[in-house]
């Protein structure tokens, strides 16, 4: 693993431009000590709601990263950009088709030095991202690990995102993934509802992403920051 901009992240909050957040809640999230705010969502993302959320986060010093899921919402001005590729999508459209279509239109504008691809392995079939991309989440652990190895060793993607959005995942899979990668950075997200699950995930993944609980229970969300920072990943 090199010293790329994401390698120091242990804890990240993901905020959805399509959901409401008060100024007070946003301030608490941005001042929480998290390593970065990732802006992204699977549906309802527009240029206007993305610009609006970015400019509100920009009042704070925290790094602000856009996960680009729609060309319409490719907003300039973020610190970094992440482009998802769904590894276990049923159709190539979600693995590489939409991305190459975007490059034909936008390729000359992309700030490559602050942009990285992320190989999404979507393991919760009920997650919006799984439904949108038709991901085959019905994988056993060995099959899932084969995707991780393909992304790391064959495609040499810099980031592998094990996504259980809405449900807490199999930490033994995440641990195995973090242990087996040769160069990729493993991000885990899904179902973290407070410090206990955050700590468990932090022992298994390089980076832990906390999303929906920000909107459902802010205090529990804020408590995940210290929980993650207090432990080290338990793989080597």
Ligand X SMILES: CC(C)=CCC/C(C)=C/CC/C(C)=C/CC/C(C)=C/CC/C(C)=C/CC/C(C)=C/CC/C(C)=C/COP(=O)(O)OP(=O)(O)O
Ligand Y SMILES: O=P(O)(O)OC[C@@H](O)CO
Enter the DSSP assignment of 104.
H
Q: Which of 34/212 has CB closer to ligand X?
A: 212
Enter the DSSP assignment of 184.
P
How many CB atoms are closer than 10 A to CB 223? 18
Kindly state whether residue 195 participates in binding ligand X, applying the rule CB under 6 A.
Answer: no
Nearest distance, CB of residue 86 and ligand X, angstroms: 5
Nearest distance, CB of residue 143 and Mg ion, angstroms: 25
Partner from ligand Y, ligand X, Mg ion, none contacting 94, C-beta within 5 to 8 A by type: ligand X
Site for ligand Y in 59-98 (CB under 6 A): none
Enter the DSSP assignment of 154.
I
Are 45 and 31 spatial neighbours (Cβ–Cβ below 8 Å)?
no
Q: Return the residue of 25, 102, 145, 155 that touches ligand X, per CB under 6 A.
A: 102
Site for ligand Y in 184-223 (CB under 6 A): 189-192, 209-213
Kindly state whether residue 11 participates in binding ligand Y, applying the rule CB under 6 A.
Answer: no
Interface region with ligand X, contact rule CB under 6 A, candidates 4-12, 56-64, 107-115, 145-153: 107-115
Are 121 and 88 spatial neighbours (Cβ–Cβ below 8 Å)?
yes
Q: Residue with CB nearest ligand Y? A: 189
Site for ligand Y in 158-177 (CB under 6 A): 163, 165-166
Kindly state whether residue 119 participates in binding ligand Y, applying the rule CB under 6 A.
Answer: no
Residue ranges in contact with Mg ion by CB under 5 A: 211-212
Q: Which of 86, 69, 83 is nearest to 111 (CA)?
A: 83
Binding residues for Mg(2+), as ranges, are 16, 42
């Amino acid at each position: 693993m090199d010293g790329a901009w994401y390698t120091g992240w242990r804890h990240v909050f993901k905020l959805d431009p399509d959901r409401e957040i008060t100024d007070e809640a946003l301030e608490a999230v941005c001042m929480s000590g998290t390593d970065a705010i990732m802006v992204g969502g699977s549906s309802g993302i527009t240029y206007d709601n993305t610009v609006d959320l970015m400019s509100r986060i920009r009042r704070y010093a925290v790094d602000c990263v856009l996960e680009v899921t729609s060309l319409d919402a490719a907003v300039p001005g973020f610190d970094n950009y992440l482009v998802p590729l769904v590894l276990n999508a049923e159709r190539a459209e979600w693995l590489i088709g939409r991305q190459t279509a975007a490059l034909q239109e936008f390729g000359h504008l992309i700030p490559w030095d602050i942009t990285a691809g992320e190989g999404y392995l979507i393991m919760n079939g009920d997650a919006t991202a799984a439904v949108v991309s038709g991901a085959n989440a019905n994988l056993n652990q060995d099959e899932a690990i084969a995707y991780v190895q393909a992304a790391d060793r064959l495609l040499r993607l810099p980031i592998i995102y094990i996504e259980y959005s809405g449900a807490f995942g199999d930490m033994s899979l995440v641990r195995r993934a973090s242990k087996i990668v040769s160069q990729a950075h493993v991000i885990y997200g899904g179902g973290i509802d407070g410090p206990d699950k955050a700590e468990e995930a932090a022992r298994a993944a390089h980076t832990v992403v906390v999303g929906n609980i920000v909107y459902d229970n802010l205090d529990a969300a804020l408590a995940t920051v210290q929980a993650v920072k207090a432990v080290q990943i338990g793989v080597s």
